[in-house]
Structure 1
């Protein structure tokens, strides 16, 4: 403990030291494979939780910057093929997003009624199990209790790790030929010439496309500030997760405005996507790790189990509905589940596992639907149960 105290005092005031030390150790942990399964970037989350438990702090800006970089990159990557894919599977995406969130809400309601867990903690667990920060905000607002954040902190770690493991284990369990599945999926996603090919002469502000990326973030933050009134006096907004995602989708889809190119190099997007994901997990993990063990001791380890159920049950129901009833392909199914669970980290893992960025289009199609319904569900449960 003396070593930990000395170490904490030595680096506590150096934010950059903490951030990149967590990233370094986290990637090492994430690279460990057990029977071919690894945590990947989610290893950063686990290390961040440990650092948070021992009193390390990271400014909120790290989490917000990471989230914005990640979702904007996803939007640009998915944009060129998103609208065609959404048009083909729109009903499935909307219904799947609804089913996953309703399953999570019903599981939460059952925990409140049967297990007797207080509604403020339970609705917080739901937002954590579905990794939804907007849901947490809605839960705190509806319950008027800070205990919602306690529930969020308990359920969030498994909410991240559970979906990350799910998208890796399902293809292994099914013994999927990933190369063949990827070929079929990408063939179905093929939309021919992209938007840039329709314009032969475009003015390029900078070769890497960082100007366009910055524009998408600015537009996304503006979208995030728009508040939509909901029944019962509640409010909804896309937030910093939804706004930049939508802006990235739109700019990525059109590719240009007039004679000005909006193209961003794919290598830049991939780098920003991974960097953003790591920064988001570091910020979220350190924050959730503060007092995590104490909360479990006070409330009981069973709360962790309840949180895990709120994560697992909607995933399995969503998978069954997507495959057996909607007949979606495996890649579309897993991408939709990542979106339905509003799981940003799992999408990064899924892209690596499948070997194609195109799965981001299924995520991007389901995510906004799930985001709306998770906010509504948290408010409904918090008010009426």
Structure 2
């Protein structure tokens, strides 16, 4: 039995892996416990790590440091890959306003933290830890620790940052939910009425992609190719079906128009005002359900990586006349396909054409979900390497003794966002299935949380001596709730955001999945998810940079 006692107690690589395994396993199990319907999830790994450390468990320090940094990199990189497509797809006027509001939440949180710093006796490092915990932002904690290490701060001070984070975190999660409930009370929100109003507004959205049957009554277009319409209408449109000379076809841009042709057009809602003036009124004919049509439609998933780095217009197989791409779905957004779009792995394309053409196009696009189940690991690690390089670039700021770096939390996140959008152009297909991405992401965050817990728990008792721990909790609650209430009220009264969007904004600006789950539960729809995904990437970057700058300017 001596050998197993030695294995569990003597510092070694094997002992470290066993301890990490136990901490993560127990943390995940405890994370399934719900309090008032809310679970702290993976954050329990941090608390279990603190408990193990408090009980005197010590692991190999060098391996612990490696697992912490590597876990953080895996987490932020896969997070960037997940939210990147939706982030770029949502960069419209409305998203800019939403991101601006999220930026104000971050700014007010920093201002609140600094005010409390000046009126309290806590060091800026402790206040940074409280702030990161109060807004449930783990990468911000990692960035603060990295910056303190670069400034050669003591290990004791670094541990206090982790303890302050751990103490403030649970109340940060519930503070966000409390802010949502307070705003619901302040705005006197009726969920059913709000849902009905939101559905009406969704149908009125000007950028919504719709389809209409238009009858050609403009004699000036008769005898001209469909291209003439495309040249006049500058925004992307698709003619998916056409009733032409008694039959239904999928026309090419060179198809000659005839009087009384009926065109089924897919375009944004605002474009149809021009199309009505140019082509004619809406027709009663329905080409989708016509019994004499030999056309069918299908949704095809892009799984062939060989076509993902080319423009649609440059792929010869797509320049045929017996099918049409009518819609493109990517990361929860819908768009009208055009020749300048580059497909990405995981895109879904709606195709209309003959049965034979759909079979041919499906083989070109791939349409094999099994291919996507095995991720290409090489581009992921190339992206991680680029992220670490970017994160290590020093930026000199006046009056700062050491150069500023966005670090292992910021660099990989930025590169992942960029590669998720532009990687295909450089033959770096970073696509992973949701399950594979979630697996890597959870592995990364659990390694990081277990590491910071195991390195800080020995000082847990000291954190509550003299009431410091409870004092930190109070400060964290203020940092959590005040900025959320201020921006929530501003978003409602000045920017006319509905309650569901505000809930997603608050959860995203706090980078808090449990708060998003609560928002989805009370709203009963997916609107909070869309707002959450819109603000999450920018907020994550701002939180990381804010934590670093607070340490650099005030240490």
Instruction: Give the TM interval when normalised to the shorter protein.
Output: 0.7 to 0.9
SS at match of 2:48: helix
Question: CA offset at residue 21 of structure 1?
Answer: 0.8
What residue in structure 1 maps to residue 111 of structure 2?
A: 106
Decide whether the 8 Å contact of 1:129 with 1:152 is kept in 2.
no
Once the 2 structures are TM-superposed, how far is the Cα of residue 63 of structure 1 from its aligned partner? 1.8
- The C-alpha deviation readout for 1:70-110, integer Å capped at 9, x for no partner, is 1111111112221132444235424532x334433433343
TM-superposition CA deviations, 1:295-315 (whole Å, max 9, x none): 331673424433443344344
Partner Cα separation in structure 2 for residue 304 and residue 125 of structure 1: 8
Mean Cα displacement is larger for which, 44-53 or 87-96? 87-96
In terms of fraction of residues, the more strand-rich structure is: 2
Paired residues for 1:146-185 under 5 Å: 148-149=157-158, 151-166=160-175
Task: Give the match for residue 376 of structure 1.
Answer: 549
CA contact (8 A) 1:223 1:243 kept: yes
Contact preservation (8 Å) 2:58, 2:454: yes
Instruction: After superposition, give the CA deviation of every residue in 1:38-75 in whole Å (9 maximum; x if it has no partner).
Output: 22112222212211222334502222222111111111
Cα separation, 1, equivalents of 2:114 and 2:152: 14
Q: CA deviation at 1:258?
A: 5.1
- The counterpart of 2:411, out of the listed 230, 243, 248, is 243
Distance 2:398 2:151 in 1: 13
Tell me by how many angstroms 1:156 deviates: 0.4
How many residues of Structure 1 are paired with residues of Structure 2 in the alignment? 369
1:293 aligns with 2:483: no
Distance in structure 2 (CA, Å) of the matches to 1:155 and 1:176: 37
Q: Greater helix percent: which structure?
A: 1
- Is contact 2:134–2:165 with CA below 8 Å preserved after alignment? yes
Q: How does 1:20-99 map to 2 (within 5 A)?
A: 20-57=21-58, 59-88=64-93, 89-94=95-100, 96-97=102-103, 99=104
- Distance of 1:339 and 1:53 partners within structure 2: 33
Contact 2:159 2:455 in 1 (8 A): no
Task: Give 1:280 deviation, angstroms.
Answer: 1.9
Q: Output one character per residue of 1:111-162: Cα deviation in whole Å (capped at 9) or x when no partner.
A: 3443444556545544565542323555687896767535413320144333
The 3-state SS of whatever aligns with 1:211 is: helix
CA contact (8 A) 1:255 1:263 kept: no
Partners of 1:352 and 1:7 in 2: how far apart? 45
- Deviating more after overlay: 116-125 vs 35-44: 116-125
Q: Is the 8 A contact 2:125 2:161 kept in 1?
A: no
1:131-146 matches, cutoff 5 A: 131=137, 132=140, 133-138=142-147
Secondary structure of the structure 1 residue equivalent to 2:431: coil
TM-score by length of 2: 0.56
| Maintained 8 Å contact 2:86/2:533 | no
2:475 alignment partner, one of 303, 306, 314: 306
Q: Helix, strand or coil for the counterpart of 1:294? A: helix
Q: 1:176 to 1:165 in 2, by over 3 A?
A: farther
Match of 2:398 among 231, 245, 248: 231
1:221 maps to 2:227: no
Distance in 2 between the 1:111 and 1:172 partners?
25
Q: Is 2:38–2:514's contact at 8 Å kept on the other side of the alignment?
A: no
Aligned CA distance change for structure 1 residues 319 and 37 (closer, same or farther; 3 Å) = same
- The 1-side partners of 2:435 and 2:416 are apart by 16
* Pair 1:254 & 2:254 matched: no
- Identify the range of structure 1 (329-338 vs 103-112) with the bigger mean alpha-carbon deviation: 329-338
Q: The residue matched to 2:113 in structure 1 has which SS?
A: helix
Q: What is aligned with 1:268? A: 436
Q: 1:225 Cα shift?
A: 0.8
1:205, distance to aligned residue in structure 2 (A): 11
Maintained 8 Å contact 1:168/1:350: no
2:181 and 2:111 map into 1 onto residues whose CA distance is: 30
Q: What TM-score does the superposition give when structure 1 sets the normalisation length?
A: 0.77
> Which stretch of structure 1 is more off in the superposition, 70-79 or 142-151?
142-151
Structure 2 residues not aligned, in runs of 5+: 185-189, 203-328, 338-342, 350-360
Q: Which has the higher contact order (CA 8 A, sep 6+)?
A: 1
Conserved? CA contact 1:96–1:366, under 8 Å? yes
CA contact under 8 A between 1:154 and 1:307: conserved in structure 2?
no
Residue aligned with 1:55, SS: coil
> Secondary structure of the equivalent of 1:290?
helix
Which deviates the most, 189-198 or 206-215?
189-198
Larger Rg: 2
- 1:41–1:349: 8 Å Cα contact kept in structure 2? no
Q: CA deviation at 1:287?
A: 2.2
- In 1: Cα distance, 2:143 partner to 2:150 partner: 11
Which SS does the other structure have where 1:363 is aligned? helix
In the alignment, the residues of structure 2 paired with residue 353 and residue 45 of structure 1 have an alpha-carbon distance, to the nearest angstrom, of 25
Kindly indicate whether the alpha-carbon contact (under 8 Å) linking 1:335 and 1:347 is maintained by their aligned counterparts in 2: no
Extract unaligned runs of 5+ from structure 1.
1-5
Distance 1:176 1:47 in 2: 38
Distance 1:119 1:78 in 2: 31
Partner of 1:367: 540
Q: CA RMSD, aligned part only? A: 4.1
Is the contact made by 2:410 and 2:541 (CA closer than 8 Å) also made in structure 1? yes
What's the secondary structure of 1:227's corresponding residue? coil
